[in-house]
Amino acid sequence: MKKQTAPDRPVCLSIEVFQPKPNVFYSLDATAHLAGVPRRSILIYCRAGLVQPVVQPPYGMMEFTEEAIYTVRRIEHLRTVHGLDLAWLKALFDLLDEVERLRAELRFLRHH
């Protein structure tokens, strides 16, 4: 028997992406899984300075915050949709950091 759906209710076929929790550290494997990329990609992004891991003593294991997971997702989007390579991504992220720094400086100057 075929299941019928109401014509006024669209069928949702999208998958909800897991949202990482704030103030939680994720292992390299968990970060790769949550971001949907291979571990190797994250290591390359770390080496390029695009993603910053949190190193936890005493073992020196790389762990990542939810911000890093969002950054990796953003990098992947920019690479796949816009075809940006690591050099372009680095330049773009450096410019975005500079814009944010200037905005913070402007907010400070406006309030003092």
Per-residue model confidence as pLDDT tens digits over 90-101? 999 999 999 999
Decide if 11 contacts 50 (C-beta within 8 A).
no
Please tell me the predicted confidence (pLDDT) of residue 18.
66
Please tell me the predicted confidence (pLDDT) of residue 19.
72
Domain boundaries, the chain: 26-110
Lowest mean pLDDT among 6-20, 22-36, 53-67, 76-90: 6-20
Please tell me the predicted confidence (pLDDT) of residue 4.
52
CA 30 to each of CA 21, 25, 64, 65: distance values in angstroms, whole numbers, following the listed order: 12, 9, 9, 11
Given the candidates 1.20.120.520, 1.10.1660.10, 2.60.40.10, 1.10.460.10, the CATH classification of the domain at 26-110 is 1.10.1660.10
Residue type, 55: V
Q: What would the mean pLDDT of 37-63 be, rounded to a whole number?
A: 89
Q: Is the pLDDT of residue 60 over 60?
A: yes
Q: What would the mean pLDDT of 62-86 be, rounded to a whole number?
A: 94
